[in-house]
Structure formats: C-alpha cells, structure tokens
Structure 1
C-alpha cells in the first residue's frame, strides 16, 4: 500500500487494484484499473449520512461477467453506430456488431473490461492509459487512450478523457456511471432531473437517431426540473420504445458549461453536471435485471457526455467526429456534489 499526500491509497482488489481519492469533506472515490471504473463513490448527504452513489460490484469478477457497462469507460465509439459501418477515404469500414445490427460502446475493444495502466498520480488525482490496436473491434487505427480523475476539496470530480489515433478514426469516448443518490437502494424514479436541452434525437426501433425533435412539453422536456418517474409513466412512443429514457439530448451552449442536474429531495443530495461536449445520453437503467445484474430496472441513471450516436453516418457531420494524430480527441466532464437539508424528517431513509 502507498499513500500520496494522504489522498491516494492503493490496495489490491481481486486480480486488480483500487485507488482511493479523498478530500477534506469526507468524499471518497474508489477507482479501479479494471475498466478505469468508479467502483465506489462515497459522499455525505444533507443529514451527514454516508451514501455510495454509484452502482458497482464488490467482486471484480462481476465486472468481467456483466454486460451492462457498469461505471466504466466506453469507446473508442461510445453509443451506437448503425450497421457498424462508416465511410473512410471513400471506403466502407465495418466495425464489430454486438447489439444485433448495431456497434455499441466499442464492442470487442472492451475498454470497460480491460486492465488500464496507471501512468500518473498526484494529490487527489490519477491518470489511466490503455491502447486499442488497429483492427480491435474493427477500428482502423492504433489509439492511445487516457482518462484522468481529479477530486477537489470543494467536492468536484473532474474527468478528462484524451484519445490519440495514429490514423484517421472516429472517436466518441465517454463514461458509463450509473448514479443512485440513495446509495444502491431504492430506484431513481424520485430523483429530480434538469437537462439544458431544447432538442433531442428521436430514434427508430433500434435506438438509432433519425430526426431532431423539440423537447418542449414532452417527456423529454427537462428545462424545468422534474422527477424521472413522471416521464417514465407517460405513454409517449419515445419512452415506450426504449422502455424508459435512453435518448441523446442536444445540449444548449458551447464549451465547458453546466448542462444538467440531478437531485434527491428525500436526502438533500444533488449532482451538477458540466461538460464541453455537444450532447448527452440520458439513460435510466431500463435493461438492468436484479437477478442477473444485482440491480433492478431503474436502479441507476447515466449521464453520458458525447457526440451524437451514429454521427459517423449523418450528412455533413462526419468530419466533426474524425480524429487523427494532428487532432486528438479530448473531453472534460465535471460532477459537482452539493448538499441541502430537506424540510421534513419523513424523507430520512
């Protein structure tokens, strides 16, 4: 075991390692070299009760066996590509298919199941690195990927992702954290969510975006905060088709800015979400299965900053997601933890 300024602790975790970041407010985040995944995220709520606000497993083997991408890094292309194909240099590239006719989250690249190297540590921060070899998952380049986690003393978790391909290649690396502010109990339907998006992508039956649509006065309208469960109960075609929320929101604004917020009024705990990406996939754990995954449907909610799903096949938008050695991929996301006491002790769990 080693300590770095009393903020990073390295311990064994099965065949892998856990690296613990802490701050002066008592927040503790345990991150593994397996998938560069956040395994535990302990925070204190509005009543000073400690809660573990991400879904995860205590046994590393469960991450290898799971197909739910729990709390790991996904890519090189996070989200879906229709048919797994795109055009590059006037030729069609075929990526591996792993969701019927879709390429999802990098398929066989398995960023969320591979061992990442720790290449740097600093006070309250750690950087992981891995390499995708040309041909893995069908990708047409060797890609060096890095992710840095930093926890500040004002309760901000900053995640910087960087990917450097040696040849032209589409990239859309993101993370797949399932948040549950209750702490791995109850579902998230009472969580109140706001998303700064006037538009979202309406999808086909395979969840491939087909048209932009206004969020106004629809279940996708989170410009005013509302509980997740309100939309889940709707009979909207968009909700029924995806069995919940699994939609890409086109975020307002540019650059690093606040784009979302999730709050659980029963315990006085919230997360503010900032990103520099143009879109965010909002997913409510529709396909979690308690018997298979240890977590039931709607047990967690994901906020995945990214480019548009299937953007490689959208007219005029391909070049925006093509990267090479002279133009590496990068993204910044910040989760800001905030606490606020509620007015009623009836909400205490």
Structure 2
C-alpha cells in the first residue's frame, strides 16, 4: 500500500469517458461558453474602470464580482477544453490541488462578495445619511480584499491538509479536481479527521455568510415596503443581487448534492452538467443581469455600441 502512495504523481479524470464520442461538439460548445463568459465579464469590468461616474461602491463591488468569475472559470475551462481534444484525461498531483483551490476559493469568494453587496445595499437604503462615511474608499478596498483573500486562505488551509494525506487511488470520477473527492482517496480514513473538522468549520463560516445575506434582504424588504422611493431603489439595485444569490445558491446546492448523494445509475452526462453548472450559469447570467438592470452601466454600454456603429 505504501508503494502505491509513493507513485501517485498523476490523477486520471474519468468524467468524460462516456461522452468521448461527442467530444468535438462539446469542445465547440464549451469554447463558445468560455468566450461568452470572457466577453460579458470583461465588458462590465472595462466599462466600470473607464467611466469615472461608475467609481462608486456598488459598481466597484460588481467589478470585483466579475473579476472573480473570470478567475474561477479560467481555473476550469482551459484544462477542460484540452481534455476534450486529448485521448487521455490526466492532471498532475500539484495541478489537481491548484485546480481544487481555485474552484473552492472562487465559489466562496462569490458568496463573500455577495455578502458585502448586501451590506452595501443595507447601508445605502436603510442608513443613507451614514452611507458615504461608513462605506469609504478605504473600507471598500478592505472589504474587497477580505472577500478575496479570506476564502483563498481558508481553502489554502484545506488544500494543505489534503496534500498531507496518503492516497491509494489515482482515479477521480469528475471533470475536474474536487478537494472532497481527493480526501476520499485516502489510504487511511483516520488521517482525514482533521480535514473533515476544518471542512465543517469552513462550511459553517459560509453558512453564516448566507444567513447574513438573507437577514440583510429581509430587513431591506421590510424597510422598503412603506416607501415608494425605497421600493424603486430596491427594484433597481437589489433585485440583480437577489437573482445572483439565487442562481449561485441553486447551482452550488445541486453540485453538492451531486457529489454527496447522486446514484451511479444516473447518466454521466447529467452528472457532468450538474458539476459545471456553477462554472457556466452564474458567470454568464450575472454580468448580463447587471448590464441590463443597472441604468448607468446599460447606458454606458449602449453609448459605446452606438459610437462604434456610427
């Protein structure tokens, strides 16, 4: 058994085995999706950066949100596209750990940024007189850095603990590396006790983030019910956040349920789609929602489009 441990420097990803006959169609569809993600997210980011009128907390947080979408999808799509054209689907041990780190830190950063967005909208609508003093440029920078660095450090700790576990299998039944599945390959389950404890602590931290977001929007809805002006603000700026949160929660929930409870009798194609939902739907839907719903961004994009058309 220890001999097997010493030779595991590569993993085999078996998620594509049943769809290999359609790999060229999947390649072009995946490439189209990735290009769409790049275009819509980069468009929002460049629009916000180039327009001084959009250098406000809400838009800067949206810019960070789109950057995180690019970060997460770049950790998946290039390798996935390569696998679709390769006869053997392999990834190095180090590359697998890095990919798992990127996937998880991307997902948790999304949730952290949504929590900061909820806090920003709470201040803007419920405490408008204190908004600019509380949500200063310095505090905004700290909150954005916190939203990015904290999930990265937490997941870095999880991945480091995983790297210390001795593994006895090199087969991962997914399209990409997942920390929970890597831990399941452990030779000695007793070695994963600390991993499991840290994983549950991580889940509790981000469940708390989710509860905070729900509480914030419940309070916002209660505040906005009796004010026409606040209702208009809520519909304009909060509805996109709620749609983003709902999309994120549903796609991630399906992925977690797929990992934990899915029967092997379900088609591999279905399992693959569920596994990549959170890397496909939110990164495309979020910038489109904000682009159409937020007036300043929509008008700015339309002005650029009309200028080029002339």
Q: TM-score, normalised by structure 1?
A: 0.25
Please identify which structure carries the higher strand content: 1
Between Structure 1 and Structure 2, whose CA radius of gyration is higher? 2
Q: Give the structure with the larger helix fraction.
A: 2
Relative contact order, CA 8 A, sep 6+: which one is greater? Answer: 2
